[in-house]
Amino acid sequence: MQATRIGELLTQTALDTPVLAQGWVRTRRELKDLCFLELNDGSCLANLQVLVPKESPLYDRAAGLHTGAALGVNGLLVASPAQGQRVELQAQALTIYGDADPNSYPLQKKRHSFEFLRTIAHLRPRTNSFGAVLRIRNHCAMAIHQFFQERGFVWMHTPILTASDCEGAGELFTVTGFNLNHLPRNDQGAVDFGQDFFGRPAYLTVSGQLEAEIMASALSKVYTFGPTFRAENSNTSRHLAEFWMIEPEMAFCDLAGDMDLAEAFLQYVFNYVLETGIADLEFCQQRIDATILETAHNIIQQSFARMSYTEAIEQLQKSGKTFTYPVEWGLDLQSEHERYLAEELCKKPVIVYDYPTQIKAFYMRLNQDETTVAAMDVLVPRVGELIGGSQREERHDVLLKRLQNQGLDPAVYWWYLDLRRYGTVPHAGFGLGFERLIQFMTGMGNIRDVIPFPRTPDGIDF
Ligand code: 4AD
Ligand code: MG
């Protein structure tokens, strides 16, 4: 018999039918003449209640099971007399795939802290909180693809190994290519790790933007959705060494169009998850952060605030607040400043645009004032910077000067400069940090708890 996912069984209307359910035991309880097993298969938050009566020949085996055991149950799906569930499963046959030793299995009935769960990243997906976050992550990914596909964007797979530093910030992981069977040795016979990528420098990508610009120069509207890497040693609740980024890039588009897209995009994703993942969102609201549903509804109902960087500095200066980092025109906004603007001043997402040239990357388009660039960041309550984007410098001469001023070697960017020599066009795009979006949506405080396998300066377990 084919198994049915528990999410489907719980909404099934054809009752008194034989079914097969498979999953892991969350809890086991015995009443006077019954054994109850709560079975979960990750398809949804809710468990399927399995009943084994005392007179059943299965009773002893069922009563001997533990939290974490993997189980298949054949039985009759019947209407449940219990409150809070429509159906339950009367067991007729049990397949025990594997029990879990209660003396060592770390996930017991009580609630565990997220810090503790980080130490068992291989088991934490079995908890309610991580199940909910991982399903919301999946819904967001689907929403993102659907948003761009509906608008005619072409999904581009940009490389993970690159030869250039998109952000020019020097936060690159270098790639060393060597064959484990033929390790290079130095004169003393020690392994020489100084080899690079087939004789040339290579890095893990910090952003797919430059490659996306190539593609937008041919296909007009593209987006990337892939892993990116930053060798910044920031041990914060918002930084990962490996994170996923979504980067749309549009030809024939300016900064205003870029901001409009970012706003419509976030509204679409929130709307989608409110429709498809509401049970998991409600769980996060209850367990993680009591404000997330209100935030989600505000996102889709209200337009975002917009203000220039210069205005933002003025607002911060007259806020009367004491910040740890200085507020001064020309300095970058720190997370405390970003959060003040979104959380306290605007009480909703705010798009800050036209940043000082000196604090932004070489590719951002120089404004007429020559002191600012056509950059924009979407700042949101709790998380701070969620999106960073800009109109790109499409003028060859200006771009060349910007590269030189920032001490970057134009020879490395020859192909990027070529795009400005052949059919150059105003274009713009942005990057959304996927994990920051999941943090914002679920209320999770630490970015390590919204990605299945966090990579941070703490090191890598597996
Ligand atoms: O602002 P960033 O550095 O912009 C870029 O990489 C551009 N090339 C994007 C573009 O215009 N196509 O990064 C974009 C977003 C940030 O707003 C933030 O949400 C996220 O990526 N991000 C990180 N997320 C987790 N850990 C880190 N270390 C991150 N660094 C950036
Ligand atoms: Mg940024």
Cβ-based neighbour number of residue 170 at 10 Å: 9
User: What residues contact residue 426 under an 8 Å CB cut-off, 6+ apart?
Assistant: 251, 252, 253, 254, 391, 394
Q: What are the CA-CA distances from residue 302 to residues 33, 35, 122, 344 (Å)?
A: 55, 50, 40, 16
HEC per residue, the chain: CCCCCHHHHCCCCCCCEEEEEEEEEEEEEEECCEEEEEEECCCCCCCEEEEEECCCCCHHHHHCCCCCCEEEEEEEEEECCCCCCCEEEEEEEEEEEECCCCCCCCCCCCCCCHHHHHCCCCCHHHCHHHHHHHHHHHHHHHHHHHHHHHCCCEEECCCCEECCCCCCCCCCCECCCCCCCCCCECCCCCECCCCCECCECCEECCCCHHHHHHHHHHHCEEEEEEEEECCCCCCCCCCCCEEEEEEEEEECCCHHHHHHHHHHHHHHHHHHHHHHCHHHHHHHHHHCCCCHHHHHHHHHHCCCEEEEHHHHHHHHHCCCCCCCCCCCCCCCCCHHHHHHHHHHHHCCCEEEEEEEHHHCCCCECECCCCCEEEEEEEEECCCEEEEEEEEECCCHHHHHHHHHHCCCCCCCCHHHHHCCCCCCCCEEEEEEEHHHHHHHHHCCCCHHHCCCCCCECCECCC
Instruction: Give residue 197's identity as a one-letter amino acid code.
Output: F
CA distance 239 to 235: 7
Backbone angles phi, psi at 133, to 5 degrees: -65, -40
Which regions in the chain score pLDDT beneath 50? none
Q: How far apart are CA 286 and CA 6, in angstroms?
A: 22
**CA of 216, nearest ligand number:** 1
User: Measuring from atom 9 of ligand 1, which residue has the nearest CA?
Assistant: 431
**pLDDT tens-digit readout, 294-324:** 999 999 999 999 999 999 999 999 999 999 9
Residue nearest to atom 28 of ligand 1 (CA): 239
Backbone angles phi, psi at 268, to 5 degrees: -65, -45
Distances (CA, A) of 175 to 163, 182, 213: 10, 17, 24
Q: Which domains does the chain have, with CATH numbers?
A: 6-98 (2.40.50.140), 126-171+206-449 (3.30.930.10)
Q: How far is the CA of 379 from the centre of ligand 1 (A)?
A: 12
Nearest-ligand number for the alpha carbon of 207: 1
Is 115 within 8 Å of 98 (Cβ atoms)? no
Q: What is the pLDDT of residue 195?
A: 59
- Residue 172 CA to ligand 2 center (angstroms) comes to 15
Are the C-beta atoms of 106 and 120 separated by less than 8 Å?
yes
Q: Which residue has the tokens 């802290």?
A: 113
- Classify strands 350-356 and 305-308 as parallel, antiparallel or unpaired: parallel
pLDDT single digits (tens) 223-260: 999 999 999 878 899 999 999 999 999 999 999 999 99
Ligand closest in space to the Cα of 384: 1
Q: What distance lies between CA 253 and its chain's CA centroid?
A: 26
Question: Which of 166, 253, 385 most suits a substitution to test ligand 1, by most atoms within 8 Å of the C-beta?
Answer: 385
Best probe residue, ligand 1, of 165, 253, 383, 436 (max atoms within 8 Å of C-beta): 436
In single-letter form, the type of residue at position 225 comes to F
pLDDT for the residue numbered 193: 64
412 close to 164: Cβ distance less than 8 angstroms: yes
408: how many CB neighbours lie within 10 A of its CB? 16
List residues near ligand 1 (CB under 6 A): 166-167, 207, 209, 230, 232, 239-240, 243, 245, 247, 385-390, 429-431, 433, 435-436
Ligand 1 atom showing the smallest separation from residue 248 Cα: 12
pLDDT given for residue 166 in this prediction:
79
Copy the structure tokens of residue 302. 């209200």
Side chain identity, residue 69: A
Measured from the alpha carbon of residue 387, the closest ligand is 1
Q: What pLDDT is recorded for position 194? A: 61
Residue 141 carries which side chain, given as an amino acid letter? A
Q: Find the 357 Cα to ligand 1 centroid distance in Å.
A: 18
Q: What b/e string do you get for 71-99 counting C-beta neighbours within 10 Å, with b at 16 or more?
A: bbbbbebeeeeeeeeebbbebeebeeeeb
> What's the confidence (pLDDT) of residue 181?
72
Closest protein CA for atom 26 of ligand 1: 239
The rounded Å distance from CA 387 to ligand 1 centre is 7
